[in-house]
Amino acid sequence: MLEDLIPARKLAHSCKVIERVEEHPDTTEKDVELVRQYLDDPNWGDVALANALTKKGIIVNRDSVKRHREKRCPCQQ
């Protein structure tokens, strides 16, 4: 019964913040570039950026923002 099991493919280099932005139906390439800039901008706190994106309809966890900034994000490995 289990002979045909194969491991799920890992989504390497996948950033949850960028994924969520790209999933939004109104997102443009400019939006993706802007969120990358915001992630690099120390003036945007983790919570503030997550809340601002959520207000725009892009649900992002503050821990995902923090993980990206601490270089623990899969996109940086």
Domain range list for the chain = 16-76
Q: Which long-range contacts (CB under 8 A, 24 or more apart) does 23-30 make?
A: 23/58, 24/56, 24/57, 24/58, 26/57, 27/58
Q: What is the pLDDT of residue 1?
A: 75
The model's pTM is: 0.80
Q: What is the pLDDT of residue 48?
A: 98
**Would you say how long the chain is, in residues?**
77
Residue 60 near residue 17, CB atoms below 8 Å: yes
Question: Could you read off the pLDDT tens digit of each residue along the chain, which spans 77 residues?
Answer: 788 877 665 555 689 999 999 999 999 999 999 999 999 999 999 999 999 999 999 999 999 999 999 999 988 87
Residue 25 near residue 57, CB atoms below 8 Å: no
Q: What is the pLDDT of residue 9?
A: 58
**36: three-class secondary structure by DSSP:** helix
